[in-house]
Structure 1
Amino acid sequence: KKRPHFGEVFAKGRQGDQDVHEDLIFLSKDTLSPGIVRATALSLLSSYPAKKSFATLETALSDADALVRQTAISTINLLQFDKDATLIFPLLYDPVKAVRIQAALSVAAIKNLKLTHDQKEVLDSGIKEYISTMEYSSDFPSGRYNLALMYHSLGKTDKAIENYEQSIKIDNLFLKAVSLDPGSFDFLFALADHYIKKTGRTMPPWWPIK
């Protein structure tokens, strides 16, 4: 049986069609496909919280393609599995910066980590590298949004809100784009909850659901 074109698979995957779960897994592992195709297939596995998805993502963490590794890290976060820091921590040593900083964001979000002194230094270095990278692109809404994600992970919610608000000031359409991402809801809810408790007001003006 001929497999469908990846475009068809992605279209159905974005709708959460269970019939393409196996096709997405196949595409993510198909080394004959371009890295961007494989990475996109991995990202869509966030809609399929099954053991097969997690096993596929875990394998992808050691893939030869940096984009695939980076996407595997971010997608594992969205799947809400109990994250084992030992799974992602080695990627803080990755030779590719984009992978290292994605790993830093992921590990920073894991609470009650027990790290050795050396491991803490590596994580701190990764966090600094992430923040430095995003500050360099802070003229763009995505840079500010990514800073907000990191500060939220670090428990610095005021700074997270500040950067998120800046992202909207740079481009007010960015709010709509973020609201379309299912993975952003928990993050935005946490910011809104902090905002309400601190100000005593109702939902913040940047809350995407009116």
Structure 2
Amino acid sequence: MENRHTKSRGGPRFRGGDVIPVKAGIAPPSRHRWAKAPPTNLLFVCFSVLIPGCENPSPSLFSDAPAAKVTSVEQEALQVVQEALADVDAVARVNAIEVIGTTGRIELMPRVQPLLQDPVVPVRYAAALAVGDLQYAPAQRSLFPMLKDPDSNVIIAASYAMGRLGATQYLEVIRKALESKDQEVRANSAFLLGKIGDRGALRILKWAQEDKFSSDKVRFQAMEARARLGDEEVLQRLWAIVFSAFADDRVMGIRAMGALGSRKARDIIVTKLDDPVLEVRLAAAEQLGMLGDTTGEPEVLEVFLKNLTAGTDRIAAERVNVLTALAIGHIGTPALTKYLPQLLKNESKFVRIAAAKAVFQSKMRRSDSKTGTL
């Protein structure tokens, strides 16, 4: 990776690593925050240390390759996620749950359901979100005890799941949590209000963003939720974050711009493909891919063609490889997906989990193209 890093605040403060999110700082967050801070976009929650070597990529398994090979790579991805669900590391369990919830792998939910009683708060939180995201009715009974969980973050996650399963009265619990004195609860409440998609929450989100008692994390999470709800008023503030002197802030702003998804937001994200920091460029490429724009493909491809992780320490290389896999999942071109088998064999379980997510996203994209829903 080229040595062009700019200043960092010393750790992620955004969704991808600190609310605990997410959905994300450039440096790994410290694990001691896990006791209190459940994740939102969970794949960036924490990175461990190992790093892969850059071997020659396998042939593309996502375009002209035989169907049997596609199945083989998908089976490998499934194995990665299943192993992560049973991992002793709570971060791995959280990340695996997030993959299942966001890629529609409902066949794995019977393995997620027991994690609703996991002893670790972020795992219970993530499992409840997955139940809600996939509207997994068989787990509804397991949600009732969670509505009285000792941790308020778990309560609002369970309330989200109940609301998604049709008991919409529980969504009011999330609204009220935005007034909590606990800043983690506030931040996660803001995230969930954006996730629910109720534009009626814009007023209270704006209040939380401007409230003098809100932490920086809450203010940003409220701003990002407003972006997710299509509130163009946040564009100017997000623009300032995207052009911050701090790389972690820039990544955070790029993700929020992606959530906004407007033409102006997209144009701003495009400018960050020229950012001096590789991780920022990869985040921009990922968000553009999410918006259906493959402009960032060359930035991701360079990671492999120029071996940009060579000479970096293991943690830095792991971060880059995770971000690379996530970008591939959203961009999904054959030139990039052919590298997923390589990433699935990475030494780092977090890189493997991110690659598994990209494999599932590639399958979703192919299914959508066949049904004409793209």
For normalisation by structure 1, the TM-score amounts to: 0.55
- Any idea what the Cα deviations from partners look like across 1:69-110, whole Å, max 9, x if unmatched? 111111122222233422211111243111001112223455
Residue type of the alignment partner of 1:155: K
CA 1:58/1:21 → structure 2, altered by over 3 Å: closer, same or farther? farther
* Aligned match for 2:248, one of 106, 118, 137: 137
Q: Which residue of 2 aligns with 1:173?
A: 325
How far apart, in 2, do the equivalents of 1:78 and 1:65 lie?
20
Q: Which residue of 2 aligns with 1:76?
A: 193
Q: Over the residues paired in the alignment, what is the CA RMSD in angstroms?
A: 4.3
- Any idea what the Cα deviations from partners look like across 1:32-56, whole Å, max 9, x if unmatched? 23x6644654665674464223212
How far apart, in 2, do the equivalents of 1:146 and 1:48 lie?
28
CA 1:95/1:143 → structure 2, altered by over 3 Å: closer, same or farther? closer
Secondary structure of the equivalent of 1:62?
coil
Higher relative contact order (CA 8 A, sep 6+): 2
Q: Which residue of 2 aligns with 1:85?
A: 202
Q: How big is the shift at 1:25?
A: 6.4
How far apart, in 2, do the equivalents of 1:125 and 1:156 lie?
10
Residues 39 and 67 in structure 1, CA contact (< 8 A), matched pair in contact too: no
Residues 108 and 154 in structure 1, CA contact (< 8 A), matched pair in contact too: no
1:65 aligns with 2:172: no
Q: Which residue of 2 aligns with 1:117?
A: none
* Aligned match for 1:6, one of 117, 133, 140: 117
CA 1:41/1:150 → structure 2, altered by over 3 Å: closer, same or farther? same
Instruction: Report the structure number with the largest CA radius of gyration.
Output: 2
> Which deviates more, 90-99 or 130-139?
130-139
Residues 28 and 38 in structure 1, CA contact (< 8 A), matched pair in contact too: yes
Identity of aligned residues (%): 12
Residue type of the alignment partner of 1:160: I
How far apart, in 2, do the equivalents of 1:27 and 1:96 lie?
26
Q: Which residue of 2 aligns with 1:156?
A: 265
Q: How big is the shift at 1:62?
A: 1.4
Residue type of the alignment partner of 1:173: A
How far apart, in 1, do the equivalents of 2:142 and 2:182 lie?
20
Secondary structure of the equivalent of 1:172?
helix
Residues 42 and 72 in structure 1, CA contact (< 8 A), matched pair in contact too: no
Residue type of the alignment partner of 2:188: T
Q: How big is the shift at 1:20?
A: 3.9
How far apart, in 2, do the equivalents of 1:145 and 1:124 lie?
11
How far apart, in 2, do the equivalents of 1:107 and 1:26 lie?
31
Residues 186 and 218 in structure 2, CA contact (< 8 A), matched pair in contact too: yes
* Aligned match for 2:222, one of 96, 103, 110: 103
Residues 194 and 229 in structure 2, CA contact (< 8 A), matched pair in contact too: no
Residues 156 and 177 in structure 2, CA contact (< 8 A), matched pair in contact too: no
Residues 148 and 160 in structure 1, CA contact (< 8 A), matched pair in contact too: yes
How far apart, in 1, do the equivalents of 2:282 and 2:117 lie?
36
Note the residue ranges of structure 2 that are not aligned, 5 or more in a row.
1-113, 274-280, 287-299, 301-319, 332-360, 367-374
After superposition, where does 1:2-41 map in structure 2 within 5 Å? 6-7=117-118, 10=127, 13=131, 16-21=135-140, 23-24=142-143, 27=146, 30=149, 32-33=150-151, 37-38=154-155, 40-41=157-158
How far apart, in 2, do the equivalents of 1:128 and 1:29 lie?
40
Note the residue ranges of structure 1 that are not aligned, 5 or more in a row.
114-119, 180-206
Aligned residues: 168
How far apart, in 2, do the equivalents of 1:153 and 1:42 lie?
30
CA 1:85/1:138 → structure 2, altered by over 3 Å: closer, same or farther? closer
